[in-house]
Structure 1
C-alpha cells in the first residue's frame, strides 16, 4: 500500500549522527560546566554579600546547572558505548534532571531579570525587599518545576517493558497519549516554560534600556546602571541562545510523535533539528557562570582575591623550596 510505505519511510528517519553529537557536546560541556559551577556556587555562598541583588536566584541557578552536569558522565558513557549497564532508575533520573535543569534555569533567569529591573525602577521599594522572599520564591520554583517535569520521564518509562534494558536516553520509547493530555502538556510547556518567560525577559530588557535614559534613575549612578543593563542583557542572551531553539522545535516534535503531523519533510526536519536543540539547551551550564562573572562585581573581586592568594602561596612555597 503506497500510504503505508510513505508512513514507514517517514518514521524511519535517520538521525544516527545524534550519538556522536551528544557525546561530543556533553564532553565539551562537562569539565568547564563542573569547574565553573562548582567555583561559582562556592564563591556565591561564601564570599558575596548576602544583600547582593539576585544572589539567591544565582545560587539556585548554579545548583540546577550542577545537577545536570553531574549526570553528564553517564550520558557520555551511553552515547559512546550504545549500552546501558546501570540500573534503570539512573537512566530515568538523568533524563529527568535534563528537563529539571532546563525549566529551573528558565525560571531563575526570569527571576533574575525581573528582580534586577524592579530594583532599578523602584530603588526605594527594593530597600524593603527581604532575602526570605527570594528563598520562598526559589522553593516554590523547585516544587512547581520538579512536579511539572515528572511527565517527561513518565512518558518515556511507560514503554520500558517493550524496550531493551540496555537502552536509554534517545533510544527510549515514547508513549502516545490521548489528544487532551497531549494538548495540555504542549500548551503548559510552551506557555509556562517559554512564552511567558520570554515575554517577561523581553519586557525587562526593554524597560531597563528605556529607564537608563530616564531622569528617575539618575540617582542610581552610572556603574549601577551598567550592571543592571549587563545582567538583563546576559539573561536574555542565555535564554534565547539555549532555550528558544528547543521550544520552537518541541511543538513540532511532540506533534510528530503523536502522529498529528504526517508531512514527511516536517517529520524529517523536526527529527534532524531535535538533537541540536537539546545540545544548545545544555550549553546553559557553561554560559550561566559567565553571567555571574561579568554582571557581579563582588564575584570578580572575590575570585581575583582567591587567585591572588593562591599565587602568593605558590610563590611562598617555591621560595622555601629553593
Structure 2
C-alpha cells in the first residue's frame, strides 16, 4: 500500500514517544472512567422505566465507555513493556473493541441528542412503546457499528505487510542484541495487509463521513433546534423553560464531546493513514503526523471520563439519585402512600 516511491526510515525514539503518551494518558483515565460509568449504570438502572429522557441510550453509552475502560489495562501493559505476550487473538480483540467502543459512543451520543431534542420539540409523540423502539435502535446500532469496524482488524496482519516505522524491515547488525520492544507487537504497530489504493481511500472516506461528519451534523442540528425553542415557543413544544435549558445543556455537552474528543482524531486520521502508507512527500511532516495522532487518539479515549460528567450536570435523575442514594423518589412515594393506607385501616379497625 505504498503510494510514493520514497520511504522514511522511522526511529525507535518515535515509538518510545508514542508508548509513553498512551501509557500515561490511559493510566490517568482508567480510574475515573471505571468509577463514573459503573456509577452511571447503577443510577440509570433505577430510572430506566420511570423516565423517557433518553436513559436507554445513556445506559448503552455507559456500557460502551465501560468496555473501553476495561480494555485499558492490557494496553497499558503493552505500552509500558513494549511487548505483547497475550497472543494474537486477544490483541485483535482489544484492537477491534477500541474502534467499536469509540464509534458506539458516537452513535449513542447522537441518539441522546436527537431524543432530548425530540422530547422538547414534540413531547406528545413519545409513549410507552417508544421505549421498546429505543431498545431496538440500540440493538441495531451495536450491530451496525460492529460490522462497520471489522475492516480495522482485518486490515492488519500478523506477518509481513507494511510496518509502521519503515517501509522495509531493517536487518539487525551482526552480534547486536535485540532492541527494546523487539517482542511481539500489537495494535496499530501490526503490519498492514496489502490493499489497493482505491479500496483504502473508499474505507477511509466512509469512516470519516458515516463515523464523524454525519453524526456531528446531527448533533449540531439538535443543538440549534433546542436553542431555538428557548427563543421561539412552538405549538406542542415543552412550555417549561427550565426543562428546555436542561435539554440544551445536554445537547451542548454532546456537541462539546464531539468537538473536543472526536474532531481532532478524525482530522488527523487521513494524515496518519497517508503517513503510514508513505504517501507524504516530507519525512518531517510524516514524523509530525505520527507524533500528533497518538495525542488525538488519547483525546478520543477521554470521552469515557467526560460522559459521566454529562450525566451528572445535565440529567436531573442522576443527581437526584445521588442526593438520595438509599431509595428512588418514586418508590419513596409509593411507600408513603402504603403507610398512609395502613394508618387509615388501623384507625377504622379501632
User: Is it true that 1:96 corresponds to 2:96 in the alignment?
Assistant: yes
Distance 1:30 1:110, change over 3 A: same
- Aligned residue runs from structure 1 range 50-129, under 5 A: 50-127=50-127
- Which residue does 2:202 correspond to in 1? 184
- Aligned residue runs from structure 1 range 262-301, under 5 A: 262-301=281-320
The C-alpha deviation readout for 1:253-288, integer Å capped at 9, x for no partner, is: 112223333333432221111100110011011001
- Which residue does 2:17 correspond to in 1? 17
Paired residue secondary structure (2:324): helix
Contact 1:88 1:165 in 2 (8 A): no
Distance 1:5 1:90, change over 3 A: same
Give the deviation of 1:105 after TM superposition.
0.4
User: Is it true that 1:255 corresponds to 2:254 in the alignment?
Assistant: no
Contact 2:238 2:244 in 1 (8 A): no
Contact 1:13 1:271 in 2 (8 A): no
The C-alpha deviation readout for 1:226-248, integer Å capped at 9, x for no partner, is: 11111000000111111000000
- Which residue does 1:167 correspond to in 2? 185
CA distance in 1, matches of 2:47, 2:132: 19
Distance 1:219 1:189, change over 3 A: closer
CA distance in 1, matches of 2:323, 2:115: 27
Contact 1:25 1:279 in 2 (8 A): yes
Give the deviation of 1:180 after TM superposition.
2.2
Contact 1:44 1:299 in 2 (8 A): yes
CA distance in 2, matches of 1:307, 1:286: 25
State which drifts further: 16-25 or 240-249.
Answer: 16-25
Segments of 5+ residues of structure 2 without an aligned counterpart are 164-181, 329-350
User: Is it true that 1:213 corresponds to 2:231 in the alignment?
Assistant: yes
Distance 1:176 1:127, change over 3 A: same
Distance 1:257 1:175, change over 3 A: farther
The C-alpha deviation readout for 1:268-314, integer Å capped at 9, x for no partner, is: 221111100110011011001111111111111112212799xxxxx
Contact 1:48 1:298 in 2 (8 A): no
CA distance in 1, matches of 2:54, 2:327: 26
Distance 1:170 1:219, change over 3 A: closer
CA distance in 1, matches of 2:326, 2:79: 37
Contact 1:177 1:258 in 2 (8 A): no
CA distance in 1, matches of 2:197, 2:238: 55
TM-score norm. by structure 2 comes to 0.81
Contact 2:22 2:76 in 1 (8 A): yes
CA distance in 1, matches of 2:220, 2:194: 35
> Would you tell me which structure has more helix in proportion to its own residues?
1
Segments of 5+ residues of structure 1 without an aligned counterpart are 310-322
TM-score norm. by structure 1 comes to 0.87
For the pair shown, the structure with the greater C-alpha radius of gyration is 2
Distance 1:6 1:260, change over 3 A: closer
Give the deviation of 1:222 after TM superposition.
2.0
Distance 1:177 1:6, change over 3 A: closer
Contact 2:52 2:131 in 1 (8 A): no
The number of residues matched between the two structures is 304
- Which residue does 1:316 correspond to in 2? none
CA distance in 2, matches of 1:25, 1:198: 25
Give the deviation of 1:251 after TM superposition.
1.2
- Aligned residue runs from structure 1 range 40-55, under 5 A: 40-55=40-55
